[in-house]
Structure 1
Amino acid sequence: MIKIIFSRKGLDSTAGGIPSPKKGKNIQSFPIPYKTNTLTSYEYLGFGKEINQLSKKKIKPSDTCHYDPNLETGQFGQVGAAQTHLENNKVGIGDIFLFWGWFRETVEFQNKISFSKTDPGHYRMFGWFQIGKIIKLGDNPSWYLKEKPNPSSHPHTIGKWKNNNTLYVAKKNLEGFELKNFPGFGKFKATKMTNLSFNPLVKKSKWICPQWLNPKHGGCGMSYHKNLSRWKENTVDIVGRGQEFVAKPKNDKECKKWLMSIFQSADLKENINV
């Protein structure tokens, strides 16, 4: 039975200080600013101008960032306590990461982009990733690179890390679902199904919760959320810290039915396997 990992990624109130942008159904998760173990700049990724304007010039186009996950190449790195948490929960081949983060609607006026006053910001899923391979890179991952580190190199393959530095590589095509030639990783469009916040006007961290996940309905719950008072009839109050929330579904059929509805929001033209 597959595990589902709700993986918090992208800019937040402490890393970057602003949400990632949404424009209608289009979303772009902005990676966090990072000075070490990376040669990738926001400018290199193609959104230097946007992040500079949205951050009110606090983040420069030339600033480097931790571009992870990379949903163009199907690579995701983890290390330290978060990686230990994944290992302790026996996350492995075939399990699925659902990446989520903080987003806010944007408007454009006179060639300048800004956040919309009508959207206070909300949480939503922006990508999926089914694990195909797990590579233990270790504290000095230079052995993995076939060429000199460059802006396209994954950050977990550059520089020095903790001993449990790990690279996850996605499956080329999704397995275990009745979907033919569906990519094993990719990005979502912004839809009702990828939205997580129940009422962002009140509290963005109160999530809409499917029954297969909700202990109030016999669901499996997820790591970091053992306190049952967090779970209501149709919602769950998300903890403020923690990157990887691991769910181990009791009802595989219901979980996969829910995932199939989520996959309908896939932005397939964005994926290199299509």
Structure 2
Amino acid sequence: MFDLEKLILSRKGFDSDSGYGYSPYDPETGKYIVIPIPEDEIENRTIRYKDLKLKRNYFEDINAENMYDLIYAKSLKYSSKTKSVVKNSFAHFDPMLGECPWLKDMPMLGAFGQSEAAAGHLKGNKVGKGSIFLFYSRFIPISGRLHPLDPSASWNKGVYYIYGWLKVEKVIENYFDLPEDVINANHPHSTESDFKSRKNNTIYLAADKLFDELDIPGCGYFPRLVNRQMLSSKLHKNIPSIWRLPAFFYEDRYRPTYLNKREKAKERWLLYDDETCFVQTTGRGQEYITNLDEVGLKWIRHLFDNERN
């Protein structure tokens, strides 16, 4: 293993400050949609929420042709504040992880962008070729899908799931090094203005494969949300910021950035048994970075067990 290889848990999609809500998922089927955060127009990049076309009848009984219609669907009960943001803002559709389960007519591209302090954090922790991003978001179950006593339907404050991945093949820090397909896809970090005006603007391009020995692409979306992708602890119901992780994360060398301050370790971390630990995550942590070796790779492989069986 190389020193530069890292595992990054990266939060993306609607949250309480960016969108004033959370992305929806169907607890009966596991189907989900990650709603991109809103942004202002930059140069000629003008992807509106109406431009993000949804696959027909993706969510049963919710008639929505695009992301805008989805937000305005009565059954999802988004606030007037959320609706106003979606109406008046552009969509920051990032990461792009190839074929998307819920969108149609989207570029087959593997790219993730970051800038400002968050990008500096990635660079400072030597995130580069061979590093693996696991993207997660907070999801709210669509009401009425399951029996009211079913625990899977009762995450009223949302639940964190890993929904996608990207293994880094190349790091782009200069506009003139960008491949044309990234520019043509209107990736939200891909304009010349982005590289001039955003500090540390960086785009991470995906490798062809996640593992040499397995037929898993270098980036992608999980087709549905299942238990092995859940980060929030079922034993701490409706405190979604408390996560249940494999026990190896409890060790000092694997505790992710922002969660590894020694003076807070006792109150933040609990080793539950030989296989499990719990951690109280930070309020809006964006890029949790840890060392990646065979221990972490084994856990990542486990996330795909349901797809290979």
Q: Where do 5+ consecutive residues of structure 1 fail to align?
A: 110-115, 268-274
How far apart, in 2, do the equivalents of 1:262 and 1:205 lie?
Answer: 20
For 1:28-39, what aligned pairs fall within 5 Å after superposition? 28-37=33-42, 38-39=45-46
More strand by share: 1
How far apart, in 2, do the equivalents of 1:35 and 1:232 lie?
Answer: 41
Aligned equivalent of 1:186: 220
Q: 1:144 Cα shift? A: 4.0
Instruction: Rate the CA distance shift 1:259–1:243 in 2: closer, same or farther, 3 A.
Output: same
Q: Does 1:124 align with 2:161?
A: yes
The correspondence for 1:222, drawn from 247, 252, 256, is 256
For 1:75-114, what aligned pairs fall within 5 Å after superposition? 75-107=111-143
The correspondence for 1:71, drawn from 83, 89, 97, is 97
Give CA-to-partner distance per residue, 1:32-77, whole Å, 9 cap, x none. Answer: 0112224112221122211233434334467411111011211100
Aligned equivalent of 1:239: 282
Aligned equivalent of 1:42: 49
SS in 2 for 1:58: helix
How far apart, in 2, do the equivalents of 1:214 and 1:118 lie?
Answer: 28
Query: How many residues are matched?
Result: 251
More helix by share: 2
Aligned equivalent of 1:113: none
Q: Where do 5+ consecutive residues of structure 2 fail to align?
A: 54-66, 99-108, 146-151, 272-276
How far apart, in 1, do the equivalents of 2:227 and 2:302 lie?
Answer: 10
How far apart, in 1, do the equivalents of 2:254 and 2:230 lie?
Answer: 21
SS in 1 for 2:295: helix
Percent identity, aligned pairs only? 33
Amino acid in structure 2 at the alignment position of 1:223: T
Instruction: Rate the CA distance shift 1:194–1:126 in 2: closer, same or farther, 3 A.
Output: same
Aligned equivalent of 2:299: 258
TM (norm. structure 2) is 0.74
Q: 1:228 Cα shift? A: 1.0
The correspondence for 2:249, drawn from 193, 210, 213, is 213
Give CA-to-partner distance per residue, 1:79-137, whole Å, 9 cap, x none. Answer: 1111111111111101100001110111479xxxxxx9733111111100000111113
